[in-house]
Amino acid sequence: METVHVGVGPVSFAEVVAVTRDGAAVELTEEALAAIDRARAVVDRLASAPDPAYGISTGFGALATRHIPTERREQLQRSLIRSHAAGSGPEVEREVVRGLMLLRLSTLATGHTGVRRETALLLAAVLSAGITPVVREYGSLGCSGDLAPLAHCALALMGEGDVRDSSGELVPAAQALAVAGLAPVQLAAKEGLALINGTDGMLGMLVLAITDLRRLLATADIAAAMSVEAQMGTDRVFAADLQELRPQVGQALSAANLRALLAGSGVMASHREDKVHRVQDAYSLRCSPQVHGAARDTVEHAALVAERELASAVDNPVVLAEDGRVESNGNFHGAPVAYVLDFLAIVAADVASISERRSDRFLDRARNHDLPPFLADDPGVDSGLMIAQYTQAAIVSELKRLAVPASVDSIPSSAMQEDHVSMGWSAARKLRRSVDGLTRVVAIELMTAARALTLRTTTGPTAGTTPAPATGAVVRLLAERGIGVPGPDRFLSPEIEAAVALVASGAVLSAVEEVIGELA
């Protein structure tokens, strides 16, 4: 099993994916352990001082004015975790919970939180053992960190609450720790707060969404190329000199993909000189690089924000060991992450929208250039892909609703102490649904385009022509699994789900890149 080493510097996107999705183990570096020890020494000194220090010898939030005597401070930490583990609703996905724990561990490793090394080592060991605390859907406002979700994780470190073991079985946390040979932690001063005061949940979901969207946008270029080809469109509009007139980075990359994908197409060659009837294609075909490119640029902006967050030490109060200080701050506010999470939901909705429009053109006899209505085998007897487009339309409509921003919907809490919150967790949760929806819409376009391209190359005036090597590879990949093959009506839902799996796994993108090399 791969092991990710967590140090004082940021973890990478690839490392986040390795831990969250591939189950990689984690280890703290010696440098990180030394930084943790230095910060802990500061906390221990302040804990023994007569003056109150927030998070160490006081209550929390609106109760920060209460000075807690030494003999009550362990109870203070336990009470904090138990009271904050107040989530409700369905269980959150395993990969999200592992992201929560990994990114919290990454912040602990910076040496700015004041936890003891044994607490950080236990968190690493729980991750490595494949133990996943049960975290609930609702509970985070995205300010003061993802408090409730992280509290459920901290509760498991205390040997309380429920977890999923490495096999996915629901068991008590104490039992799972014992089976893994781990002892529950007895939290000391400052540790409870350090374990829950971060934007780790929303950040983990942002990193995973960016990872998925990068693959999806390349796959959307593949689907667009197949649609242009099968709808007898023109590729002249994707020429590099035309794209250079508007120097948007993502647009240029998407257009370059489309040129590479359509290179060598016999279907395109069959009508390339028809400059009378095919002067201009519809926007959904002609403007694919502009829309997909803008989406790419937005994703890369979000990635820049995510990279900054991965390099951050988000806690309150924060330990500045070099100066021997513990200072309150507002770095736990999730606004930077929440904004780009909302922005990406807009991207998912719009790319899905243009994909659905390209698909719909295939089904309309008036617009599909002599293909059968709805790509049906015997129109009237067969309905073809009529209702597959309904499914696309239903998803696109849902994605538009999910594009309504969560980050503008602040709601005050904690007796008005926390009077402006980011709602970043909510933005992240809806973005996950948006990414899933986009995956499904693009998969249905691919299925539709493959069926149309097969009809185009086997029937009518273009019979005997061949698709481009890249698009032909996708047609073959899908056909091997019974996807996008013309013929009488059949049970479509399994076919759609199979196409979705090929898109989500990256198999469609891999099939193309094996033929023409890496896409942008």
Which one from 54, 138, 283, 390 is the annotated catalytic residue?
54
Query: Distance between CA 93 and CA 73 in Å, rounded?
Result: 33
Q: Which residue has the tokens 């719009």?
A: 350
Q: Which residue has the tokens 């019979």?
A: 463
Peptide bond into 317 cis (omega under 30): yes
Q: C-alpha distances in angstroms, 221 versus 111, 114, 253, 383, 433?
A: 44, 48, 10, 28, 21
Query: Distance between CA 433 and CA 396 in Å, rounded?
Result: 12
Q: Which amino acid is at 65?
A: T
Q: Helices marked H in 21-129 — which ranges?
A: 30-47, 73-84, 94-108, 117-128
Query: Distance between CA 109 and CA 356 in Å, rounded?
Result: 45
Query: Distance between CA 150 and CA 513 in Å, rounded?
Result: 40
Q: Which of 204, 17, 185 is nearest to 101 (CA)?
A: 204
Q: Which amino acid is at 11?
A: V
390 is catalytic: no
Measured in whole angstroms, how far is the alpha carbon of residue 227 from the centre of its chain? 27
What residues are paired with 382 via a beta bridge?
379
Query: Distance between CA 131 and CA 421 in Å, rounded?
Result: 30
> Is the separation of the CB atoms in 443 and 503 below 8 Å?
yes
Catalytic residues: 54
